[in-house]
Chain A
Amino acid sequence: MAQMTMIQAITDAMRVELKKDEKVLVFGEDVGVNGGVFRATEGLQKEFGESRVFDTPLAESGIGGLAVGLSMTGYRPVMEIQFFGFLFEVIDSVSGQLARQSFRTAGKLNAPVTIRSPFGGGVATPEMHADSLEGIVASQPGLTVVIPSSPYDAKGLLISAIRDENPVIFLEHMKLYRSFREEVPEEEYTIPLGKAAVKREGTDLSIITYGAMVHESLKAAEELEKEGHSVEVIDLRTVQPLDIETIIASVEKTNRAIVVQEAQKQAGIAANVVAEITERAILHLEAPVLRVTAPDTIYPFAQGERAWLPDANDIKETALNVLTF
């Protein structure tokens, strides 16, 4: 075991997979000799060589095309989109091509591609770096979308993502890259995709969340505990497909739920979670399922982040509304 930040755990996962499977290739803008703009691929090119870990021209669409073509010839690409706001340049390769590859070839040419990309607010990035666009890819059949919130989860989930035979979007929240350390095993281990984690057990309210909002939710839960409310916090870890069993079991126990996301209300995946709970557990609900989200504007100018991003206070307020409904 070692104390790792999330970014170190991510690097470690790629190291494990590069070592284990010679078909794994890591590429993107500045991921080679530079080790990535966040050091996520630090040391990997040195260890595995330029044919395994390499830089590309500055063109997201071309990077997506490389991944598609490499997957057709038996490789297992781990491509990086420098910031997920740049998704729009490569949306055809992601949603129009990779997601459909198995289907459109009747299952003959699957696409074992992992797309890593940082996102997320709170670190005053310039325009189109921090946007939460997971809702866009979550709505595309054929894609799995993973968002870890801790170093331990990040490593196990990334190894699973790379080994998955289908395209997986792996979104890394920038604020969580180095915000804390955690014990992470040095050997390989996996965490199944599509499985949520109960980060805190409780009996009065379920908070269902993911990404940086997991930590805000845990903070809110602690405060609520002081006021006599026992709150369960579920970290989805995979936002598509959802772990219905864990979500519903929790709601059936607590009878009250809120869904918390950093994305705008009209975006993200919170509405999906609400719909699933409504369809499957309405008779267990003592109150409507409310959402904590960002407002429906474009992602804010850097100095406005604090006012705009949802935080523990917003979560606590909504939780109390549901608890006292």
Chain B
Amino acid sequence: MAANKKTQFDPVQTLQEVEEKFEMLQILNEKGEIVNEDLMPDLTDEELVELMERMVYVRVLDQRSISLNRQGRLGFYAPTAGQEASQLASHFATTKEDFILPGYRDVPQIVFHGLPLHQAFLWSRGHYLGSDLPEDLNIFIPQIIIGAQYIQAAGVAMGYQKSGKEAIALTYTGDGGTSQGDFYEGINFAGAFNLPAVFIVQNNQFAISTPRELQTRGKTLAQKGIAAGIPSILVDGMDALAVYKVTKDARDRAIAGEGPTLIETMTYRYGPHTMAGDDPTRYRTSDTDDEWEKKDPLVRFRIFLEGKGLWTEEKENEVIERAKEDVKEAIKKADAAPKQKVTDFLEIMYKGEMPYNVKEQYDIYKAKESK
């Protein structure tokens, strides 16, 4: 070992120096106190309240979705509780012009971008009308192939850059997703073409049962941005103000033509990976759960807003009731969707004329369906 010998060349030290630079940015601590006044984002009282409303709404949406899934009234569902700040405060920094490319857990963002709730439920059930995207809604449906949304985000951002649109592509993946090739290719392409894209890694500590430490030896996931030569930052993903601030800054840089940013949000999912039989007690301890529950993004933001006289229990209950009411209505609407037919599937395969095989099968199924 040449440990004692001082050389000009010390890759170990270089790595340590780089990793130490990625400190976690926080504005609001667990007690709801502002710990970084200088970085306070420029949000009006109304906007602060709106952000809290969205987070509460989505917590309720998550509870109701889990219960509806257990009743068999929803299908595929990936719980979101714990990630409200990470998901909604980042989305809060966008405009309608921005294009969202969500992962499968990122349904709340596209709902607040404009996807009707009953369509989100139809998507969960597996009905094509769930992804019958409304006109002028700049989203793609939740991506099941982990990493694909990253390379596609580069493409969307390039489209916006070419058409001179003042908007960004915003995409999300998890901690496990950073191990994919498409994760790297996506951020690298966006860097090479200086594209207006914001890449968010929601590090919720586990990829199903695999802990984040097993994904990479890197001390942070944010540092992976260095490989693409793009700015990157680690942020407290349970802190709505910090998540909003870094996303807004990244968006501003992108719009100003300064290229993409990678953001790692340090967060946690309280629930299972999905509702398809995953049991987190097999791989997580209740101690860890308790530790993260103390960091709950709703708790600290609630204290913060109450301190400013902007939030009351009454207000919170109103949001809870509204969310429950909306869920009820949306489920009713989803129930009313027509049963899917094979001819529906054949019709949406191609734009324009059907190829011969599809046409031939269309006629066969049309005849069967009219019996």
Say if the beta carbon of A48 comes within 8 Å of chain B.
Answer: no
Chain A residues, CB < 8 A from B128: 103, 106
Whether A62 contacts B145 in the complex (CB less than 8 A), given A105-B131, A110-B351, A166-B352, comes out as no
Question: Is A65's CB under 8 angstroms from B189's CB?
Answer: yes
Question: Is A69's CB under 8 angstroms from B350's CB?
Answer: no
Question: Is B162's CB under 8 angstroms from A72's CB?
Answer: no
Which of B132, B159, B189, B348 touches A72 (beta carbons < 8 Å)? B159
Say if the beta carbon of A141 comes within 8 Å of chain B.
Answer: yes
Chain B residues, CB < 8 A from A35: none
- Inter-chain CA distance A323–B59, complex, in Å, is 74
Question: Is B162's CB under 8 angstroms from A69's CB?
Answer: no
Chain B residues, CB < 8 A from A73: 99, 155-156, 159-160, 163
Which of B152, B155, B188 touches A57 (beta carbons < 8 Å)? B188
Chain B residues, CB < 8 A from A61: 151, 181-182, 185
- CB contact list, B145-169 vs A, under 8 A: 145, 148, 150-160, 162-163, 169
Say if the beta carbon of A34 comes within 8 Å of chain B.
Answer: no
Question: Is B132's CB under 8 angstroms from A66's CB?
Answer: no
Question: Is B163's CB under 8 angstroms from A74's CB?
Answer: yes
A-contact 0/1 string along B120-145, CB 8 Å cutoff: 00000000110111000000110001
Question: Is A97's CB under 8 angstroms from B159's CB?
Answer: no
Question: Is B351's CB under 8 angstroms from A165's CB?
Answer: yes
Question: Is B348's CB under 8 angstroms from A65's CB?
Answer: no
Question: Is A68's CB under 8 angstroms from B159's CB?
Answer: no
Question: Is A59's CB under 8 angstroms from B185's CB?
Answer: yes
Interface Cβ pair total, 8 Å cutoff = 141
Judged by DSSP, the binding face of B is: helix
Chain B residues, CB < 8 A from A148: none
What is the size, in residues, of chain A's interface with B at 8 Å between Cβ atoms?
45
Say if the beta carbon of A225 comes within 8 Å of chain B.
Answer: no
What is the size, in residues, of chain B's interface with A at 8 Å between Cβ atoms?
43
- CB contact list, A243-259 vs B, under 8 A: 243-245
- CB contact list, B248-290 vs A, under 8 A: none
A18 CB to closest chain B CB (Å) equals 14
Say if the beta carbon of B192 comes within 8 Å of chain A.
Answer: yes
A269 CB to closest chain B CB (Å) equals 13
- Inter-chain CA distance A242–B352, complex, in Å, is 17
Chain A residues, CB < 8 A from B160: 73
A78 CB to closest chain B CB (Å) equals 14
A-contact 0/1 string along B338-369, CB 8 Å cutoff: 00000001011111100111100000000000
- Inter-chain CA distance A319–B155, complex, in Å, is 49
A110 CB to closest chain B CB (Å) equals 4
Whether A62 contacts B151 in the complex (CB less than 8 A), given A97-B145, A103-B349, A109-B133, comes out as yes
Chain A residues, CB < 8 A from B158: 66, 69-70
A233 CB to closest chain B CB (Å) equals 21
Question: Is A108's CB under 8 angstroms from B189's CB?
Answer: no
Whether A102 contacts B157 in the complex (CB less than 8 A), given A51-B162, A65-B186, A66-B151, comes out as no
Question: Is A74's CB under 8 angstroms from B182's CB?
Answer: no
9 A-B pairs (CB sep. < 8 Å): A65-B182, A68-B155, A72-B152, A75-B162, A106-B129, A110-B350, A144-B355, A242-B357, A245-B356
Q: A68-B152, A106-B132, A141-B349 are in contact. List 20 more A-B contacts (CB 8 A).
A: A57-B192, A59-B188, A65-B185, A65-B186, A69-B152, A69-B158, A69-B159, A70-B159, A73-B99, A92-B145, A92-B148, A96-B148, A102-B349, A102-B350, A103-B349, A105-B141, A142-B349, A165-B351, A241-B355, A241-B356
